[in-house]
Amino acid sequence: MALSKDRGITMNDGNKIPILGFGTYPPDAEATKTAIEFGFRHIDGAYVYQSEEQVGRAVRAKISDGTVKREDIFYTGKVSEFGNFFFKK
């Protein structure tokens, strides 16, 4: 059973963000691909999860194989004031 595309909140600019998002911690590209296949279009990540690279690869793969278009995906990320503290290089 796929998730409904109609379940979302309309933003001020007319775009619609899906109510239900797929969290990407711990980072797992295969889980993200499976979530997209099952109908998730809202992908949630964060700098502190260190998931951006795997999520990007998963989304690109599902665009390449025709499962979704880029405009179908709504990615949200979080910026933490503590992120720079924990991940200083």
User: pLDDT (tens digit, 9 = 90+) per residue, 32-46?
Assistant: 999 999 999 999 988
Please give the share of the chain, as a percent, with pLDDT higher than 90: 53
Domain ranges of the chain: 18-83
Per-residue confidence (pLDDT) for residue 7, from 0 to 100: 81
pLDDT tens, residue by residue, 48-73:
888 889 999 999 999 999 999 999 99
The answer to whether the CB of 60 falls within 8 A of the CB of 33 is no
Amino acid at 30: E
Partners of 18 in the beta sheet? 8
Residue type, 76: T
What Cα–Cα distance (Å) separates residue 18 from each residue in 3, 24, 34, 41, 42? 10, 16, 17, 7, 6
Q: Exactly one of 25, 47, 49, 75 is catalytic; which is it?
A: 49
Question: Catalytic residue at 49?
Answer: yes
Q: What is the pLDDT of residue 56?
A: 94
